[in-house]
Chain A
Amino acid sequence: MSTATVEEPTEVVAAPEPFWTRQRRLGLALILLGGLAAAVFGALAPSEDARFTLSENAEGAALSINGQYGAVLFGVLALVAGGALFAGLLKRWSNALLSAGILAFVLSFLCWQVAGEFMPLVDTTDGTLQLALPLILGALAGVLGERSGVVNVAIEGQFLMGAFAGALVGTMATSVWVGLVSAAVGGMIIAGILAVLSIRYLVDQTVVGMVLNLFALGITGFLYERLMQPDAPTYNTPPQMPEWRIPGLADIPVVGPVLFEANLLVWVALGLVVVIHFGLSRTRWGLRTRAVGEHPTAADTVGIRVRGLRYMNVLLGGVVAGIGGAYFTLVATGSFTKNMTAGAGFIALAALIFGRYTPFGAFGAALFFGFAQKLATYLGAIDSPVPSQFLNMLPYLATLIAVAGLVGRVRAPAADGLPYIKG
């Protein structure tokens, strides 16, 4: 073969890189957003101080900046980050640039809104985390199911069932912990039906999921009206989850009161993010789960029980989502009401997709959506001219953008939603 030569692959397949790369598109978007922020927010902001207090109210130390000045400054920063992205500078740091740009945009918006007012940072952070809690848990439930190939649209139903069971059993047993376990069981029951119908009977998973949501809504609504409402003291006054304070750590400014003076669910949610992340990436269970979600036949041929693993993961997901449901009755409000989750399960689903089916991604997305919700209530409280509905629609908008592939492609597990039929 002395005279022969293998053609270099680069020489043959090298196509000129398209001009509108992901970086360029994102960069342009940021430039536009930054420009908008600097010009519009800057123009609208009153020239008064925006105070961000480090406490739960107006008291104490605060970070303070002139609103107009801040709105323009952060808008320009977003624009600069966008420009750098567009020009292809600092390519290795493009994700950091993107995050910084978005952060600057948000800060510019806040400077405008908060000018002449104050925003308590502890309250905002705490509220963000609390609102994100069920979203984190719901999205993690989704991660467990979908990474093994079962689409879980029934997160909403698992929430509702968890919230309902937690309230009912918690009240009757007068124990918040019994309530918490019941909530997990409630979520698991819905997950169990989903698992049997989709894995054993090969019913379309999305359809089953939707039907289960309606089923959970119907049955909890019925029992609420017939059982709970007539005799609330006996059936619908669950004890609330206590807040635990870790001495020392709780004194750290801002972070302390948010993370170390908190209810158990905060630690459960944060812990599960880490556990599931490492579980998926570093353990035998995780490797097999991912294999089953990507290529079940391959998993089967090396002796992995595909269906068994899927059952297990969907049920585990049900437990996690059920605990997420407990948040509504055992933490957020003191009782169950009809349809009290109000679509949170779907926002969790959105967080799952926006977070690219990864635990940390889902966590970040849930926090982002939680922040949007918190901001919406804050804006309502200070009588902002910006309608809070805009912020409430953000999760769906963000998910649409993510799914449409505008910010890099979201790649679902290859066998997600496909039942496994042997042979």
Chain B
Amino acid sequence: MANDHIDITVEPGEVHALLGENGAGKSTLMNQLYGLLQPDEGQIIVNDEPRVFKSPRDAIAAGIGMVHQHFMLVPVFTVAENIALGAEEVRGGPLGWLDRRRSRRDVIETSQRYGLPVDPDALVEDLPVGAQQRVEIVKALTREVDLLILDEPTAVLTPQETQELLAVMRSLTAMGKSIVFITHKLKEVKAIADRITVIRRGQVVGTASPDTSEEELAALMVGRAVSLEVEKSPAEPGRSVLKIEGLVVDDDRGVRAVDGVDLEVRAGEVLGIAGVQGNGQTELVEAVMGLREVRAGAVRLDDDDLVTMSTKRILRSGVGYIPEDRSHDGVVKEFSVAENLVLDMYDQAPYGNAFSLDLGKVGGNAKERIEQFDIRCQSPATPVGTLSGGNQQKVVVAREMSRPLRLFIASQPTRGVDVGSIEFIHSRIIHERDQGTAVLVVSSELDEVVGLADRIAVMYRGRVLAIVSPDTPREEIGLLMAGITGDTPEGEK
């Protein structure tokens, strides 16, 4: 059960924050409100009138709009086409001839009325995410909604874009619109919400006012006191382990994604890579792991040239790797926990040889790892796909940390992972660092990078703009993530 007897009331002109962990049931709740899912029990009441939403069409008609976490925009359509879709202006009666001029005009009008600049003729696929999000908001507003649901809207934004979005939200509520703001980020909730409802495991566990402290909110959300800080001692960097020089990599479409990156990671330190997603971090890591062709440059692990090595050899020469897309690249969902734990070593002693697996050894290893990494599963034979995101990730971490490592690479290590598991994974990463392993952490969550890293490299459009200390003010890191550097000459714009 994703939602268990939830009551929630949204007043006109307020920002109502829905706070909860990944998988707590926030999105499920909102999808019912938007008509994408139907409740088994209970009622939706709009302006004192009970309503049944069979599809989003009904919800829109009742004045409810939603901006989804993954944008619902057709990439090959123009902005105006996307906004018109489903509510097209037409001429010619049953022929349904599109009235493009009126659609365009409506877009421009709405965009000016609410101060949300969008270009009606731009193709959506050419727009940066921040602009795409504005298109989504304009799309909802042209439908004259009174209640706007924003599902994790800041996940893809830079800190500056987040500030802009919060300003937009304020002006919308000033015009009498209500907003449901779904998030798991405490700072943003405190900055904008009028009221906060906290959801845990499908139930409302409390409401709070915005002056509640972050610690209290986190405790409500998780169900126990949690430490928001990563505990660690100062790093003691040793020899240089990973050396990347002049690395150039293309993305899947053949567009340059990494454009001349130099980096160095030392033994016993965590180098964090901060940046908005899509600035080359994914391709950088894949190139290091031998998963993507290197166009130019060198990647060296001590004296080994990783560019010429296969991924299998890279892994076996002492590199641990948490891929960013866990369910696609990290685990085989249909395989059991025990099998997933030996995916890297299945053909090596003691687990197997060229012909067969030693199932006893595989099972023994699983028992040990499950214990050691606190993996919550019924038995080692449980398929990994049935575990929660956090426990799946612990399987990956356990597997990748069970080899002797020189370098550990973690890409989005806590994406879709519950707070309890986040704490655990973070502490294991720091533990690995303290063993003298070089650690590279890539995350689009700035908090995570700042918490874990001893040095932070900020990536923007395929380049490392700067390497800064984690004590640098966030404002400054945020500007770097948006490509704004302080040291360039004045007057260029």
Contact = CB atoms under 8 A, between A and B. Distances in A.
Interface stretch (B188-196, B377-385, B387-395, B482-490): B482-490
Interface in A101-126: none
A300 B85 contact: no
A12 interface: yes
Interface in B39-84: 55-57, 60, 66, 68, 71-77, 81-82, 84
A3 B72 contact: no
Interface in B77-127: 77, 81-82, 84-88, 90, 95-98
Interface string A359-393: 00000000000000000000000000000000000
Contacts of A249: none
Contact of A302 (B85, B463, B482): B85
Contact of A12 (B71, B76, B84, B462): B462
A342 interface: no
A287 B88 contact: yes
Interface string B470-493: 000000000100111110111011
Contacts of A12: 259, 460-463
A6 B493 contact: yes
A7 B485 contact: yes
Given A5-B489, A301-B68, A13 B256 contact: yes
A6 B490 CA distance: 11
Contacts of B492: 5
B276 to A, nearest CB: 14
Given A7-B485, A301-B68, A414 B75 contact: yes
B407 to A, nearest CB: 28
B1 interface: no
Interface string B124-161: 00000000000000010000000000000000000000
The winner among A15, A286, A297 for most chain B CB atoms within 10 A is: A15
A276 to B, nearest CB: 14
A301 B96 contact: no
A284 interface: yes
B84 A4 contact: no
A47 B88 CA distance: 64
Contact of A299 (B85, B90, B483): B85
B31 A303 contact: no
Contact-residue bracket for chain A: 20 to 34
Interface in A285-303: 285-288, 290-291, 294-295, 297-303
A226 interface: no
Contact of B31 (A13, A285, A305, A423): A423
A254 to B, nearest CB: 35
A227 to B, nearest CB: 42
A294 B85 contact: no
A13 B251 CA distance: 12
B37 interface: yes
A309 B483 CA distance: 44
B483 A301 contact: no
A253 B491 CA distance: 68
Interface string A392-423: 00000000000000000000001000000011
B484 A5 contact: yes
B321 interface: no
B68 A285 contact: no
Given A4-B486, A5-B485, A302 B56 contact: yes
Contact of A303 (B60, B479, B490, B493): B60
Contacts of A60: none
Given A7-B460, A7-B461, A298-B85, A303 B55 contact: yes
A10 B81 CA distance: 28
Interface string A165-177: 0000000000000
A299 B81 CA distance: 12
B86 A302 contact: yes
A283 B95 contact: yes
A129 B245 CA distance: 61
Contacts of B55: 300, 303, 305
Given A12-B259, A12-B462, A304-B86, A290 B74 contact: yes
Contacts of B74: 290-291, 294-295, 298-299
Given A7-B485, A283-B97, A284-B88, A301 B493 contact: no
B36 interface: yes
Taking chain B's interface residues, is the majority helix, strand, or loop, or is none over half, making it mixed?
loop
Contacts of B95: 283
B76 A294 contact: yes
A13 B462 contact: yes
Contact of A291 (B77, B139, B255, B486): B77
A245 B463 CA distance: 69
A305 to B, nearest CB: 8
A1 B484 contact: yes
Contact of B479 (A4, A285, A288, A300): A4
A295 B36 contact: no
B34 interface: yes
Contact of B490 (A2, A286, A305): A2
Contacts of A5: 484-485, 488-490, 492-493
Nearest to B160: A1
Contact of B72 (A15, A290, A301, A305): A301
A9 interface: yes
Contacts of B463: 12
Contacts of A298: 71-74, 82, 85
A21 to B, nearest CB: 12
Contacts of B73: 295, 298
Contacts of A92: none
B132 to A, nearest CB: 12
A284 B96 contact: yes
B36 A300 contact: yes
A283 B96 CA distance: 5
B85 A304 contact: yes
Contacts of B81: 287
Contacts of B482: 6
Contact of B256 (A15, A282, A284): A15
Interface of B: 31, 34, 36-37, 55-57, 60, 66, 68, 71-77, 81-82, 84-88, 90, 95-98, 139, 255-256, 259, 460-463, 479, 482-486, 488-490, 492-493
19 contacts: A5-B489, A6-B493, A7-B460, A282-B98, A284-B96, A284-B98, A287-B85, A294-B75, A294-B77, A295-B73, A298-B82, A300-B36, A301-B68, A302-B85, A302-B86, A303-B56, A304-B86, A422-B36, A423-B31
Q: Which 8 A-B pairs have the closest CB atoms?
A: A302-B86, A303-B57, A284-B96, A298-B72, A12-B461, A15-B256, A5-B492, A4-B484
